Amino acid sequence: MTTTIALAGKGGVGKTTVAGMVIKWLAQNQPGSILAIDADPAANLNMVLGLDIDWTVGDIREDMLQQVKSSLTQGGAAMGVMPGGASKRDYLDYHIRTSLAEGSRFDLIAMGRGEGPGCYCAVNHNLREVIDDMSRHYAYVVIDNEAGMEHLSRRTTRDVQHLLVVSDPTQRGLVTAANIAQMRKDLDIAVENAYLIVNRLPGEAVPAPLQAEIDKLDLPLLGVIPADDDLTTFEYSGRPLIDLGDESPVYRSVARMMGAIL
């Protein structure tokens, strides 16, 4: 059985950093392979994980649609066949699998840019089928979402066991977290558990005014992650955050949270 963990939150709150620490913890503590899905168009989870990305799913989708448009006059693509005789589903399946960035314990797919002005309904249906088929061969799937949750059910039909809503210690971050908490109830997929994580907290204690706002949310507080200068040093140097030592306060905080829910 595959366990799916999704992350969401306002842009800039550190979702991708937390996703990297979640993947690091899974790789070190849980058996089975891990698939990371970077669903943020900014696509920088690969930098956190130290993997190279040549093609994103968005690139593959656009390339396929360009081939469809150029061959419409020949009748092949209009009947669901790509130039050369492959079906659109088989074309996507092959190219998405070959775009996979492979690590020792985890692999990565980057979704890349959003849809252009064309018709994407059938393409997105095929994409979901391909990604869901790939996902079932992994013990864990970790999805790093863009700022909101509205595209999650277009990426996968797989239920989410654990939704981690990341906020920084600001009112804006918590307002976005509250909106995501409400939005999860309207998705086409089931979210079994949802939690709040407060990232980059200065000091060890949650200030009383911030705690008062957290208490209003429809999300239990899973834990806090302290602000950490070592993380900033890694960012400046370009080193993959997956290489943070186990003694890192950021990693230790995420490890405690993951141990609690898994």
Domains within the chain, CATH numbers bracketed:
3-261 (3.40.50.300)
pLDDT at 122: 66
Q: Which two tokens stand for residue 15?
A: 């979702």
pLDDT at 117: 57
CB atoms within 10 A of CB 174: 23
Beta bridge partners of 34: 106, 140
Q: Which two tokens stand for residue 111?
A: 């979704």
pLDDT at 172: 92
Stretches in the chain below the pLDDT threshold 70:
43, 71-81, 83-85, 114-122, 148-151, 153-155, 157
Both ends of the chain: CA-CA distance in Å? 14
How far is Cα 5 from Cα 135, in angstroms, rounded to an integer? Answer: 12
State how far Cα 2 lies from the chain centre: 15
Q: Which two tokens stand for residue 68?
A: 């469809």
Helix, strand or coil, per DSSP, at residue 34: strand
The reported pTM is 0.91
How far is Cα 16 from Cα 13, in angstroms, rounded to an integer? Answer: 9
Contact 28/214 with Cβ under 8 angstroms?
Answer: no
pLDDT at 115: 63
